[in-house]
Chains A and B, each alone.
Chain A
């Protein structure tokens, strides 16, 4: 399945997560964020999104919410303020990586 975000055509799964992280760019991130209720990505949002993406590209798995809270530089409470609908899930979606599979 493909979809068009801003001006790019990208491969996505049934829930709108990019299946090919290489097709991602910052305009796509902003478009996905806006579609998911985040009107503007602040520096704090970007910190989380980049951390998610880099960790996934480096290790092949998205970080748990626990390590996101400990290592991204953004504490748990703020993560939920930035991404009320679920920080790990939404930051992965905006960062152009697959939906996290872990339970934590």
Chain B
């Protein structure tokens, strides 16, 4: 028998709302980037303020030379439900990416470059992480024009103040 444990309810009848989110994107795979973009866009659609902070391989989502070539991780991804050697077969990641993109287009989820533009135009602020930018030896020139600035982790916390932080 399962028993449902009651969650403590808030004292007042008034439901709390989220006013602001700051989303950290740390992975450069298709399945690492999309959830963050969908959540940022979804926040704006509800009138919630949203910031995106790209760090480590998440920077690929805003790099001019890479953002059109984001792929599904077919190796080391148990969610793919297949043998690791198969995921490593040349061209397999491209095929899985193509299939997933086709499915997403069907439900009106835009490709990454269009999605970056969409969230930016919706009022989402996009930032690159200074530590990673320095580590990879990059400058603002490496990034798409929607990126507002390269900021330190301290500045990120300042901007995120008063909101919720989501790490993907």
Contact = CB atoms under 8 A, between A and B. Distances in A.
Interface of A: 64-67, 69, 75-77, 80, 84-89, 102-104
A86 B108 contact: no
A104 B109 CA distance: 7
A69 B110 CA distance: 12
Interface in B10-41: 38, 41
Contact of B122 (A64, A65, A67): A65
Contact of A104 (B47, B107, B123): B107
A103 B122 contact: no
Nearest to B46: A86
Contact of A69 (B47, B107, B121): B121
Nearest to A64: B108
A37 to B, nearest CB: 10
Contacts of A76: 118, 121-122
Nearest to B121: A76
B124 to A, nearest CB: 10
A103 B47 contact: no
A66 to B, nearest CB: 5
B121 A65 contact: no
14 contacts: A65-B118, A67-B108, A80-B121, A80-B122, A89-B45, A89-B46, A89-B47, A102-B107, A103-B38, A103-B42, A104-B38, A104-B107, A104-B108, A104-B109
B101 interface: no
B44 interface: yes
9 A-B pairs with the lowest CB-CB distances in the bound complex, closest first:
A85-B47, A76-B121, A64-B108, A86-B47, A77-B121, A86-B45, A86-B46, A104-B108, A66-B108
Contacts of B110: 66, 104
Contacts of B107: 102, 104
Contacts of B114: 66
Contacts of A85: 47
Interface string B44-76: 111100000000000000000000000000000
